Amino acid sequence: MHNCRTAVAWACLAAVTCNVGRAAEPQWQALQKTLQERLGQFEENRKTIDRQVLADFDRAIVQAGRGRASAASVVDQKLELEKAKADFEAFQSFPESDEYAVMELDYRLKVNRKFLPVGQAIDSLVKYANRSNDPDRLEEAVRIKEEYETKYLGGCDLPDESRWLGTYDRKGRSVIYELAINEVRAGGTFDGHVESNKRLRVHPSYDVKGTRNGAAIEFAMTSRQQGMVTAFTAKGVVSGNRIIANVDQRMQDGEQWKGTLVLTRQ
């Protein structure tokens, strides 16, 4: 499966070369070469990360039989883990269950860090085509950018006026959390608004500002409308229709809570 995806990636890149062969300036060729080199290095890095995740699944499968659960429950848990492992090996996907959120977050962050040089090389192609006023090159470079981000980052769309709903898990408790994205600007910066734990009479309500870089996303409280939360930061990833992030929250009484945020696009 890795070889198949790699072949598709090289075919996409070859299409850029063929389509612009009519006028292959040295600078354009140099940018293409840089992209090829970075993509090759990224593929090797990702294979290493994938092997680490498969090893983590193997350890979890072994550990599933060490608890006090019934024999039937252990069998079910092992079967679930084995299926999750097989799906990851084939598609680099994780079950959309909060139980796998931490594992997926760790994986996506590692892959995103290794992908950043590839993304920068693609952005250089886009910028060059834009400066050259060449619509064919620009269209092809933008298409490659979209395909690579979907293929390698699992899709990381963060549209204007999107709404995300889920839970912030801390200390074994789950708190309902709503994030509304107001505007996403060029460069990936965005504004948004949060409403959480609405069961409270005066629930937390605050504005946030953040950035998205590839699949990585970060945002933090900027102004508070009401509630006891005085500071909130989230650092994670956009993965398909989900945001998964590690969060740090401070309360008015000085207490600090850390946890995992899992949101689904509505």
Residues 65 and 96 in one domain: yes
pLDDT digits (tens, 9 = 90+) for 213-264: 888 999 999 999 999 999 999 999 998 899 999 999 999 999 998 999 999 9
Q: pTM of the entire structure?
A: 0.83
Residues 124 and 70 in one domain: yes
Are 158 and 172 within 8 A, CB to CB?
Answer: no
Residues 243 and 120 in one domain: no
Are 244 and 168 within 8 A, CB to CB?
Answer: no
CA-derived radius of gyration, the chain? 21
Residues 134 and 173 in one domain: no
Residues 105 and 26 in one domain: yes
Residues 140 and 167 in one domain: no
Range of the domain at 199: 163-265
Domain containing residue 203: CATH number: 2.40.128.30
Residues 131 and 238 in one domain: no
Residues 243 and 181 in one domain: yes
Q: Answer whether residue 158 is part of any domain.
A: no
SS3 182: strand
Residue 151: band (very low, low, confident or very high) from pLDDT cuts 50, 70, 90: confident
Tell me what pLDDT residue 66 has: 76
Q: Tell me how many degrees the CA angle 136-141-145 measures, rounded to the nearest 5.
A: 150
Provide the number of structural domains found in the chain. 2
Residues 138 and 182 in one domain: no
